[in-house]
Amino acid sequence: MDVSFLGPDAKESDFISLERCTDGNFRLGEDGVVAIFATGDRKVEFIFFSDHVLAYVKSALGYPAYYPVHPVEMNKPVKAVLMDLDGTSVRSEDFWIWIIQSSTASLLGDPAFELEEADLPYVSGHSVSEHLGHCIGKYCPDKTLEEARKYYFEHTHREMQQIMEGRGRADAFKPSAGLKEFLFELKAMGMKIGLVTSGLYEKAWPEIYSAFRTLDMVDPKEFYDAIITAGFPLRKGEVGTLGELSPKPHPWLYAEVCQVGLGIGFEHRNHVIGIEDSGAGVCSIRLAGFPVVGFAGGNIKASGTHGLCSHYCESFEEILKIIK
């Protein structure tokens, strides 16, 4: 089966072959279905027909969705670069996993609690509620998501306040090697730059602000052409924004930052690239219709999404060679 529609170097062995879609709506050999493949982490399933492909994005919160998968190719000149925050621009995954671990420890009333290695694919790259939902299901099924979110935001507020005040964990947010030089080179080339994160604003903004302060750069809001986050948390007594049900691997964050934030229409999508280090992010970019540049250091290979990438790079220097 030719799966190069998903990525120029994609091979059938990159994916898991299925007889039926998880929700049962599509079966191999029925209604024109010629193949069904899942990513290695089984978060996204691709249903192949003779003339088109659909993607089924699962949801730990009970709201899955289907999306059309469009063909992509990287055309020059590249007009815009869309960049992930966690793991790509800033190395912070360990910190946020620690926050999830601390929240679970609070739920259990056990300060010594630690996550297992097997938990890592489920506590990074997705929404806060999905991360917490995994921990509840595995470690404390008698607790509720509402309780978990309460502890999560307590820990987050405390740590973010300390970091913004110049205190807190000194190793929390480290700019990725070569980030400053890469960003300035993009600016010199006249590129538009969008920053994209599934993180809520209250956790994402201190990250990039701290990183830019470390790099002695201007206010990120002045530097980037558009920044999009998962918004503000929905909780009692406050007004929230959409974010927990529509994060990566759904396409909306990348689609919106490009179409609305940068003003680049869908017809020009092959002149836009997205850079991601996580499997969820790779799927998000690909479903938004943009070619993906995978960035080493995250879980792309472990999640089985390498085949969706147009390129896979070890450094920003490598990415610049592709763009120029």
CA 111 to chain centroid, in Å, comes to 29
Report, as an integer, the average pLDDT of 273-287: 97
- The whole-number pLDDT of residue 238 equals 86
Report, as an integer, the average pLDDT of 70-87: 96
The chain-wide mean pLDDT, for the chain, equals 93
Share of the chain above pLDDT 90, in %: 76
Confidence check: pLDDT of 166 > 80: no
Write the pLDDT tens digit of every residue in 170-219.
Answer: 678 899 999 999 999 999 999 999 999 998 898 888 889 889 988 999 99
Read off φ and ψ for residue 112, nearest 5 degrees.
-90, 0
Give the C-alpha separation, 281 to 293, whole Å.
11
- The whole-number pLDDT of residue 259 equals 97
In contact, 206 and 173? CB cutoff 8 Å: yes
**Sign of dihedral through CA atoms 185, 187, 190, 195?**
positive
Q: What is the DSSP letter of 176?
A: P
Nearest to 150 by CA among 125, 120, 129: 129
Look up tokens 């059938």; give the residue.
Answer: 12
Confidence check: pLDDT of 126 > 80: no
CA distances from 314 to 29, 136, 137, 278, 290 (A): 40, 35, 35, 14, 20
Report, as an integer, the average pLDDT of 90-103: 92
Largest CA distance in the chain: 60
Give the C-alpha separation, 289 to 284, whole Å.
9
In contact, 104 and 139? CB cutoff 8 Å: yes
- The whole-number pLDDT of residue 1 equals 85
- The whole-number pLDDT of residue 170 equals 64
Report, as an integer, the average pLDDT of 264-290: 97
Separate counts of helices (H) and strands (E) for the chain:
10, 13
Confidence check: pLDDT of 74 > 80: yes
Read off φ and ψ for residue 36, nearest 5 degrees.
-135, 125
CA 301 to chain centroid, in Å, comes to 14
Confidence check: pLDDT of 152 > 70: yes
Nearest to 84 by CA among 241, 185, 211, 169: 211
pTM recorded for the entire structure: 0.86
Contacts of 136 (CB under 8 A, 6+ apart): 104, 107, 143, 144, 145, 148
Write the pLDDT tens digit of every residue in 10-63.
Answer: 999 999 999 999 999 999 999 999 999 999 999 999 999 999 999 999 987 889
- The whole-number pLDDT of residue 200 equals 85
